[in-house]
Chain A
Amino acid sequence: MTQPLLKIENLHARVEDKEILKGIDLTLDHGQVHAIMGPNGSGKSTLANVLAGRPGYQVTEGKVWYRGRDLLAMAPEERAREGVFLAFQYPVEVPGVSNIYFLKAALNAIRKHRGEAEVDAMDFIALVKDKMKLMDMDEQFLYRAINEGFSGGEKKRNEILQMLVLEPTLCILDEIDSGLDIDALKVVARGIEALRSPQRSFLMVTHYQRLLDYVRPDVVHVFAAGRIVKSGGPELAKELEAKGYGWIESHPEAQAS
């Protein structure tokens, strides 16, 4: 049997004194797309942040294996260099540092880790411009400070642009679709689709079916109160859209533990 890309086993995590994740089990195979849905505050972003290594989140129990390695033992930048990417629910503004400088510094950090030479300046510009075209982004965004003054939708596109340039192996997208208009959603979905490959996997947190219409998930998980209370195929998302979460929360499986 081949090793899964990501294996989460009985993961418990707390922030400050509050237990938020209460035993998550999830296995993501190479090339798969898993969607994570669930009500506000159920712990979706917490899982995404724990996987990316955000300080302040304390894992109290459980393991996470990434390509067979202990992911939780790795520093955040090491995870990134090993191919883990988190598209933030709320991308951060960094005044005074241009987007293009940031992209290049990030790409070179990852290349260096892999033992590759720094990217050639001309090749880099060509690469970035190509990806920007795909994301329908004006080149002026390269020279603006990172996310500063970007609209909500522009920030989300910028996250996908970074993902396209860095070509990670595990893409964790936290509500990449929130705040997007219909056209922007298509563009973002196009960016995601462009990266799909048999080796690359996606964990997509979303509240809406519409993203899943463009990027079809293999598995849909439903979070409630820090647990996965139900998993199923893409039809589960449609069912949720129609019925809401109430029926699951009263579902026997959800009450089991």
Chain B
Amino acid sequence: MSLPAEILEPYRLRSASLADNDPVWLAGLRHRAMACFAERGFPSPRAEDWKYTNVTAIERKRFPLAAAPGEVDAAWVKARLLPDCWHLVLIDGYVHHDLSHPALAGDVVFCDMGAALRRHADLLTQGFGQAVDEDHGFIDFNTALFHGGALIYLKAGTRLAQPIQILHLQTQEAIAPTRHLIVLEGGSEATVIESFIGRAGGLTAHVTEAVLDREARLRHFKIQEEHDRAVHFGGFYVQQATGARCRQVHFALGGLLARSEIHHRLGRGGEAILEGLHWADGRRHLDSHIRLIHAEPEGASRETYKAIAEQRGRSVFQGRIVVEPGAQKTDAVMNNRNLLLSDDAEIDSKPQLEIYADDVQCTHGVTVGQLDENALFYLETRGIDREAARQLLLYGFVNECIEAVDVEPLRAYLHRRLDSRFNAIELEDLP
């Protein structure tokens, strides 16, 4: 669906002005992406991959592009940065230099996109656009209009001494297209945490690409918790060479409408361990679109996605595993477990296996249900009242995901963030 000219015009102008300052290769990409976007707009619910998540409301909202970063209280932002991490803070897509760690350089490059374009064009051209295997309006939009982001590059064999946290803060009812590129050379190791928070209902239109060379390892965490009226699109596209491993844990907790795409393409002997939690409360609509392509033999993937839908919330899980011809000895397991806690809530789960090789092991399972009555009774027979028992079971469901986070400050943050929702049980003295 193409957009009306008056909506498109400011996007065109901005894209052109960004391109004016870009290197030629990027200006060309922007130009083509803008032309594509003008033609097709945001994805239509008629597209199979978008049938559960209707983003046409974005057009009605007529979000402007954020012209400048909003005012922020540095102490407030600092309180949201995790200790023992390197930080990059993007306010409405614009890098906040005082709150961001000065660029690392040498074997490790970690800098904002502006600096990357000025100083590391060679690295950018190596990886940019390489891992994105999706082709729809959000990708066009992002390519045409991103103005902030991060470049993370590790030379072969290096290991990042502490995690990188990129904090995206939305302060306006506006669009802040951001883009990150992660390039890990052979055998290098990094941990990257992406946090999306906001105090206004804007539109996040984000893409992270990661290119992992042989035996590289990426641990990636995404915490999506924008304002209750915000719309989020966030793509995470990973290309993994032979023996490369990626582990991702994804928490979808905020926004009004959020779509996350998590796509991996695995090389020989590669590994992807993916976990996620949706907590669709209030009127929240949370959609995770997972695609795992086993392109070569001996890859292993594990997906464990869980969702809670309560009140009028809705959770959508679309998980596709593709085993390409020749990807023998693939070992793939996909699980999606859902708790549907109210009559007005909704769960849509669509697992898909496409297997074009014969010597593979692929399994998937989906459950949708309420809290286990048997377990509730068990807890009650130990003196725990029904509401506390209910919360304890729900806590267990959530806690399994939090415990999967093996970065201590982030785990502690998630506990602080979520434990307060369990007001009928005492969690302070949990070991």
A residues lining the B interface (CB < 8 Å):
52-55, 75-77, 79-81, 84-86, 88, 91-98, 100-102, 104-106, 108-110, 113, 121, 142-143, 145, 162, 166
CB contacts (< 8 Å) of B381 on chain A: these are 52-53, 76-77, 79-80, 84-86, 88
The answer for the CA separation of A109 and B383 in the assembled complex, in Å, is 6
Q: Hey, which chain B residues are within 8 Å of A102, CB to CB?
A: 379, 382, 392
Known: A77-B380, A97-B395. 15 other contacts (CB 8 A): A76-B380, A77-B384, A77-B389, A85-B381, A92-B377, A94-B393, A95-B396, A97-B396, A98-B430, A108-B426, A109-B384, A109-B385, A113-B383, A142-B431, A145-B396
- Please tell me if the beta carbons of A92 and B375 are within 8 angstroms of each other in the complex: yes
Interface of A is mostly: helix
Residue on B nearest A49 in the bound complex, by CB: B377
* 8 Å CB contact of A55 from B373, B379, B430: B373
CA distance A102 to B395 in the complex (A): 12
A105 x B397 contact (CB < 8 A): no
Kindly state the separation between the CA atoms of A57 and B86 in the bound complex, as whole angstroms.
58
Q: A55-B373, A94-B375 are in contact. Are A106 and B395 (CB under 8 A)?
A: no
Interface contact B396-A96, CB-CB below 8 Å = yes
Q: Smallest CB-CB separation from A81: which chain B residue? A: B383
Given the complex, which residues of A lie within 8 Å of B373, measured CB to CB?
55
For the complex formed, measure the closest distance between the CB of A94 and the CB atoms of chain B, giving whole angstroms.
5
Contact A77 B396 (CB under 8 A): no
Contact with A along B391-405 (1 / 0, CB 8 A): 011011111100100
Residues A80 and B380 in contact in the complex (CB < 8 Å), given A95-B400, A97-B396, A97-B399: yes
Q: Are B378 and A94 in contact (CB under 8 A)?
A: yes
B403 shortest CB reach to chain A, Å: 8
Interchain CB contact under 8 A, B383 and A96:
no
The answer to whether A96 touches B400 (Cβ under 8 A) is yes
Which A residue's beta carbon lies closest to that of B382? A106
Task: Please name the 8 residue pairs, one residue from A and one from B, whose CB atoms are nearest each other, closest first.
Answer: A96-B396, A106-B382, A109-B383, A80-B383, A92-B378, A76-B380, A97-B396, A96-B399
- For window 403-421 of B, CB contacts with A under 8 Å fall at 403
Assess the B382–A166 pair: CB atoms within 8 A. yes
Chain A residues near B430: list those with CB within 8 A.
98, 101
| Cα–Cα distance between A77 and B378 once the two chains are bound (Å) | 10
The answer, among B372, B386, B400, B429, for a CB contact under 8 Å with A104, is B429
Chain A residues, CB < 8 A from B378: 88, 91-92, 94
In the complex, which of the residues B375, B377, B388, B395 has the most CB atoms of chain A within 10 Å of its own CB atom?
B377
CA distance A76 to B384 in the complex (A): 9
Cross-chain contact B385 with A143 (CB below 8 angstroms):
no
CB neighbors of A among B13-60 (8 A):
none
- Chain A residues, CB < 8 A from B375: 92-94
Residues facing A in B174-197 (CB within 8 A) are none
A106 in contact with B384 given A54-B377, A91-B378, A100-B431 (CB within 8 Å): yes
Total A-B pairs, Cβ < 8 A: 93
Interface size on B, residues (CB 8 A): 30
Q: How far does the alpha carbon of A24 sit from the alpha carbon of B321 in the complex, in Å? A: 56
0/1 string, B215-254, CB within 8 A of A gives 1: 0000000000000000000000000000000000000000
User: B200: CB under 8 A from chain A?
Assistant: no
**Are the CB atoms of B383 and A55 closer together than 8 Å?**
no
Tell me the dominant secondary structure on chain B's binding face. helix
Measured CB to CB, the residues of B under 8 A from A are 372-375, 377-386, 388-389, 392-393, 395-400, 403, 425-426, 429-431
Given contacts A97-B396, A101-B431, is CB(A76)–CB(B425) below 8 Å?
no
* Minimal Cβ-Cβ distance residue in A for B372: A92
How far, in whole Å, are A102 and B430 apart by their CA atoms in the complex?
10
Q: How far is the CB of A152 from chain B (nearest CB, A)?
A: 16
Given A92-B378, A97-B396, residue A77 in contact with residue B431 (CB < 8 A): no
Docked pose: A93 CA to B375 CA in angstroms: 7
A162's nearest neighbour on chain B, judged by CB, is B382
The reply to whether B383 and A106 form a contact with Cβ atoms under 8 Å apart is yes
Contacts of A166 in B (CB 8 A): 382-383
Nearest-neighbor residue (CB-CB) of B402 within chain A = A96
Q: Quick one: closest B residue to A125, CB to CB?
A: B431
In whole angstroms, what is the CA distance A97 to B425 when docked?
A: 12
A residues in contact with B372, CB < 8 Å:
92
A–B complex contacts, Cβ < 8 Å, 19 sampled: A52-B381, A53-B380, A76-B380, A76-B381, A77-B383, A80-B384, A81-B383, A88-B378, A88-B381, A91-B378, A94-B393, A95-B396, A96-B396, A96-B397, A100-B431, A105-B425, A109-B383, A109-B388, A121-B429
Kindly report which residue of chain B lies nearest to residue A165, judged by CB atoms. B382
Report the Cα distance A30→B168, complex, angstroms: 66
B382 to A96, Cβ gap below 8 A?
Answer: no
B425 closest partner in A (C-beta): A105
Query: Is there contact, CB below 8 Å, between B374 and A143?
Result: no
Give B199 Cβ to nearest chain A Cβ, in Å: 31
- By beta carbon, the residue of chain B nearest A100 is B431
Chain B, Cβ-Cβ closest to A105: B384
- Please indicate which of the listed interface residues A79, A91, A96, A98 has the most CB atoms of chain B within 10 Å of its own CB: A96
Q: How far is the CA of A88 from the CA of B375 in the complex (A)?
A: 11
Closest to A101 in B: B430
Name the distance in Å between B390's Cβ and chain A's nearest Cβ. Answer: 12
Roughly how many angstroms separate A77 CA and B425 CA in the complex, as a whole number?
15
Q: What's the Cα separation between A93 and B378 when bound, in Å?
A: 9
Chain B residue numbers with a CB within 8 Å of A92 are 372, 374-375, 377-378
Q: How far, in whole Å, are A60 and B385 apart by their CA atoms in the complex?
A: 25
A76 touches B396 (CB 8 A): no
C-alpha spacing A109/B380, complex, angstroms: 10
Q: Which residues of B contact A79 (CB under 8 A)?
A: 381
Q: How far is the CA of A77 from the CA of B376 in the complex (A)?
A: 10
Q: How many Å from the CB of A101 to the closest CB on chain B?
A: 6
Tell me the bound Cα distance from A142 to B431 in angstroms: 10
Residue of A nearest to B392 (CB): A97
Chain B, residue nearest A92 (CB): B378
A43 to chain B, nearest CB (A): 18
| A95 & B388 in contact (Cβ 8 Å cutoff) | no
